[in-house]
Every structure is written in C-alpha cells, then in structure tokens.
Amino acid sequence: MRHGTRPGVLLTALLLAMGVALLGCPKRPDLSQAGPAAVGPAAVGPAAVGPAAVGPAAVVAPRPRVGEPLVTRPTPPAEAAVQPIPGAPGAAVPAASPLKDVFFDFDKADIREDQKAALNHNVGWLKASARVKITVEGHCDERGTAEYNLGLGERRAKAVKDYLVDARIAADRIATISYGKERPFVLGHDESAWKWNRRGHFVISGH
C-alpha cells in the first residue's frame, strides 16, 4: 500500500509546481479588443490626435510647420469711386478733383455765360496752386463724324485755355487734347445725355 500511493504524490506535486509557474508569469494583453481610436483610416479625426495617436499607423490632419507663414486670401482691393452724373452745368467732377467741367452748346466752342462761374473757380484754384500743371480735354456728343468731332473738341479745349490765359494763368501750365466723341461722360442717345458730353474736362497732369 505504501508503494501504491507514490505516483499520486508525484502527480500532485507536479500540478502544484505548474500552478506556481503560471501564477508567476504576467498576463498577456487581449489583442482582440480595439478601442474607438483604432489605427487606420477610421482613426482620422479628433480621436487620433493626442499622445495615443503616435506611431507610423496613426493618421492625423496636416498642421502648419513651425515658422511657416500662414496663408491668407488677398484682400481684394477697394473699388474705385463711381463718378456721379452731374445734376447741373458746372457741377464738380470726381470728388478727388478740385476743378470743374465746362459745358458747351451743340456744335459750338465759345464759352457760355453760365459756365464762367466754374471757370473762375478753376482760375482761383490754379492761382493758389501755382506749381500745378493741367490738361484740358475737349469732348463732344455722339452726333457727327469722328473726324469732325476731333476738330470741335480741339476748339473747345483751346477756348478754355484761352480763358485761363486771359485770367493770367501761365500758358505753359496748360496742355490741351481732343477726344472728340470717343469718351462720353453720360451714356445715352438724346439731349439728356448729349448736353453733358459737350464739355471741357480738367485733368491735373503734374507739379
């Protein structure tokens, strides 16, 4: 009987030794469980940003490099001020200009009485700004040939210059040019537009 119990004792001791060995080994993690921040395409977004998203498989949105200037859309430049259609003869041209246009009758190049106030205003400004040079543009309405209107515009510009010179503005400060009917001030095909296109226009050309 004493010899019959020896194999059982050995088996029990072997089982105890195996149990101790198993208890001493660290438990291996369960690789089958993956959290919400699993790597791969599904990891793109806020869940993949942070310390847990480090490694070659982590996909994150691109960020600007250190020192790299931020890219911004250029601000469109501001639109140019629209020149208002004048409401009366001698009305001031664009607000940036201190000089006033002078208007003419149909097919005429002589200075009208009601336009002398605008011309006298321009004379006063030119005397106060003695170093400024100007160009007087002669313009016409759309009626007549281009060649005829170039000549008429030239006569109108010269009439304006002569008035300024008679008012003791130096002739070498005043240039003239004719545009005929090529640059209408107001678009239209009747007198409501034509009367504004028959004009002498002042441009500050230098100092």
Q: Residue 67: what pLDDT? A: 55
| pLDDT above 70: residue 201 | yes
Which carries the bigger pLDDT value, residue 166 or residue 205?
A: 166
Single-letter code of the amino acid located at 28: R
| Architecture (CATH level 2) of domain 103-206 | 2-Layer Sandwich (3.30)
pLDDT at residue 9 in the model: 61
pLDDT number for residue 97: 80
Q: What does the pLDDT look like over 131-152, one tens digit per residue?
A: 999 999 999 999 999 999 999 9
How far is 123 from 206, CA to CA, in rounded Å? 17
Map out the domains of the chain as residue ranges.
103-206
Question: Structure tokens of 97?
Answer: 């200009």
pLDDT score for 206: 82
